[in-house]
Structures are given as C-alpha cells and as structure tokens.
Structure 1
C-alpha cells in the first residue's frame, strides 16, 4: 500500500464535497447549469483554501462524459484521469517555478489546437502573480480572444501583483479560509 498525503487523499472530488466555499460553488454551479461559461477565471485566497481543487472540479464539470454539469460523475475516464492528474486536456502550470515567457509560450502555442479527448482544454496557472511581465504580455492576446474550447483558470495568493489588464479579463472569485 502506497502512502498518500492526507490533503490529497481527502481532496474534494466534486462541488458537493467542498466545504467553506459555498459562494464560489453556487456561482459556478449556476453558470454550469445555464451553460454561461466565462473563458477565464481567477481564484484568489490564502494557501490551502481550495483554489486548485475548484479548478480540478471545474475541469471535470466541463469535460465529464455525462455532459457539462455541476455534478461530474467521477466514474468516467475523463473524471478519473483528471483526478489522477493524467488528463491530456487539463494542464496545471506552477508559475512560481515556471515564471518566464519561455515556459508559458509552449502552453499558448498549444492553445490553437482543439482538445484531444475532452470538450474543453483547461489551463490552470497556479501562483499566476509570479509570472514575469513579458509572460503576462504573451498571455494577454490568448486571454483576450481565446478559442471557444479553451478555459483559463488562474490562481493566486496575491491578486495585487496580477496586472489590471489580466484581472479585467477574468471572472474573479475570492476563496475564504475556513472560520
């Protein structure tokens, strides 16, 4: 039996399992139910509040084989692959260690291609505030006019460091720490 960190083992796998972020869950669930999807989301909050978890559940909700839903099945190959971190159309980039234009450019070059398996490509850029200005500028064009099959999920602990030009193109959610 392999050891697994408790935070990973008990990570929520759907919106119903999420605790303490009802305002975010409700807004995203309503958007998914009405299929009124934004092309870019910005999740802000302190470490450990669920920014990456919301991103993964959103990716499952958009790509689940049962259709776009706020309740992904968790059983189909798409849901299982996203949970396992091997879904080809969901990419997580840690901007804290990949902050330059050389790291973001290949991701943006792949944006022109349609998803391989899913309905949507979801690019999750964690700690987005760490990107260089050149990297932000490179990302801006794709953020302004993304293909219909591409969704950006940006996550940050420091939204003040994200340029206004990027903030204005994202639907923002502030995830609060548990009281």
Structure 2
C-alpha cells in the first residue's frame, strides 16, 4: 500500500483527471489506421498543455490565500504556484502508465491497435485503483472500497464504450 503522503499527492482529482484526459484523447485520436506514434505525441503534448494550464489557473486562483495584505506579490505568486504544483503532480504521474503502453506500440513491442486498447484498459485499472485507495484511506469496509473502485473504473469503461461507438 502507498504511504499516506504519496497517496495524498497522487490520489487527487488531478490524478483522476489525468487518466481521463489520456483515455479521452486516445478515444478521439485513434481510429483503425492510427499509429501509436501519432497518438502518443498528441496525448503527451495535450497533457503537458493541460497541466501547465492547471498550474496557471491554480496559481491565479490561490493568489488570495495569504490573508496578510503586506505579503509581496512575488512571494504570494510563488506560494500559489508551489501549492498548485504540489497538488497537480498526480495529473502527470497518473498519465505515465497509460502513456507507457502507447510507447510499447511506438517501439513495436505490440501492434498499434494493441497499444491503443491496452492504454484504454489500463486507464480503467488505474481509475479503479485510485477509487479503491482513496476509500481505503478512510474506511475498513471492503465492500465500500470495491464499490468505489467499480464506480471510478466505470468512467473508463464509458470511454471504451465511446471508442467502440465512435470508431
């Protein structure tokens, strides 16, 4: 089991968002002719852009967190940016596993289609694990942990359903 501090940093809404972002992009970008390389480049670029936008938005949103009026603007901005970066690492880290599967397609370890489908199914697993771990942090009830994992993973299943319908 992950230490509580690691779970706090990675098991965030940003982590769930990162996995959903990758899976959603794979659904949209991949078709029967899609190459893993094309999908990978677009997914990584988009995740980095969204992460940077999240940092920017979070820094702006937290500029007023320091209630003392005499706090200099630079110090206020540094605190807001640091706070946002600490809470958004999960978006990048959670995207790494699904992106790694796309890399297997780029390296021709698996076919492009296997990499794309593997990425989607791994997203389901990662979402389920995040749902399970977050409830496990506060509940000993196994049925509740499994229910949380199932509901969270269901979102990934919906994305896979969309892939089937779209392509």
TM-score where L is the length of structure 1: 0.28
Which structure shows the higher strand fraction?
1
- In our comparison, the structure showing a higher alpha carbon Rg is 2
TM-score where L is the length of structure 2: 0.29
Which structure shows the higher helix fraction?
2
